[in-house]
Amino acid sequence: MQAQQQKNDFYWQQVREAAAYVKDYIGVDGTDIAITTGTGLSESMVDMSPEAQIPYDRIPHFPASTVKSHAGRLIFGKIHGRRVFILQGRFHLYEGYSAPRVCFPVRLMQALGVKTLIVTNAAGGLCTDFSAGDIMAISDHINLTGENPLVGPNNEDWGIRFPDMSAVYDTGLMNCAMQAAQKSGIHLHKGVYAGLKGPSLETPAELRFLRQVGADAVGLSTVMEVIAAVHSRMRICGFSMITNIADPDQPEPASLEAIIQIAQNAAPVLGELLSGIVREA
Ligand code: HPA
């Protein structure tokens, strides 16, 4: 137990050191929005005027990105005059990172005073109404990873022991998203995201199961970070870029290349939506 406590204290110390480095690097306080970009979506922030870019490997204690489709840098800048952090690239359980390591970027944002987190990901569409290239606003999620970043001793300075999960995705931000989508002529679906550990993709029987338990999209990220963000008391909204249709009745092999290609093609539309939310939020 004592060893676990020490490990835990060490983690928070690392977060504080990373935050001190970033604060010093950018030289300004008061950034309250962060956006995490998922697979193939790094280039979605077209409206951003970057003021600083920090490669992840320069930030003390930051995990190293092992996935090629993830850029691996923290960008700081303004969108519609508001200060925003963009986390280009994230960490996944399937890379072998523990749940707290996956959440390190979110904890860094917490330490830097961020109050609103917008998460994006690439996902397979389970809902029969979806097509590849569509965007789904996440109304709720199902954590099927078998992991939770809050396991272990709780540090009350960073959040409470049993965070409420009854309203994870902020309805105000969802309304902003709907308004921004309407203004830009983007058709935005709403639905439930199921987060799995991966890295193997789903069998047809698993896809059928996911549909039956109420999932509309499936992916291998997001749920850990969102749980940490709830613990951090952030306002959260999330978007899944539907990169492929995961249909148990017509199973098709999903390739990472095709997923990245679809995500990259649709990234500017997502970017327009995100900048609309920053404007309205
Ligand atoms: N399954 C899991 N993760 C994904 C998928 C999928 O079909 N598409 C994009 N990310």
Q: Give pLDDT tens digits for 148-161.
A: 999 999 999 999 99
Question: Quick check: helix, strand or coil at residue 269?
Answer: helix
- CA quadruple 202, 122, 98, 157: dihedral positive or negative? negative
- How many A from CA of 204 to the centre of ligand 1? 13
Q: Please tell me the distance between residue 53's alpha carbon and the centre of ligand 1 in angstroms.
A: 29
* All structural domains of the chain with their residue ranges: 2-280
Q: Is 122 in the pocket of ligand 1 (CB under 6 A)?
A: yes
- The CATH superfamily of 2-280 is Nucleoside phosphorylase domain (3.40.50.1580)
| Ligand 1 atom 9: residue of nearest CA | 123
Query: Both tokens of residue 132?
Result: 């590849």
Nearest atom in ligand 1 to the alpha carbon of residue 125 is 7
244 lines ligand 1 (CB under 6 A): yes
CA of 27 to the centre of ligand 1 (A): 38
| pTM exceeds 0.85 | yes
Interval 24-56: pLDDT, tens: 999 988 889 999 998 778 777 767 888 999 999
Tens digit of each residue's pLDDT (9 = 90 or more) over 138-147: 999 999 999 9
| pLDDT at residue 46, as a whole number | 65
Contact (Cβ atoms closer than 8 angstroms) between residue 34 and residue 54: no
- pLDDT digit string, tens, across residues 80-138: 999 999 999 999 999 999 999 999 999 999 999 999 999 999 999 999 999 999 999 99
- Distance of CA 24 from the midpoint of ligand 1 (Å): 37
Kindly state if the Cβ of 246 falls inside 6 Å of ligand 1.
yes
Would you call 141 helix, strand, or coil by DSSP?
A: strand
Cβ neighbours, 10 Å, residue 26 = 18
Residue 236, Cβ density class (10 Å: 0-12 exposed, 13-18 middle, ≥19 buried)? buried
Query: What is the dihedral angle through the alpha carbons of 222, 225, 227, 229, rounded to the nearest 10 degrees?
Result: -130
Residue nearest to atom 7 of ligand 1 (CA): 124
Are 36 and 225 a contacting pair, CB within 8 Å?
yes
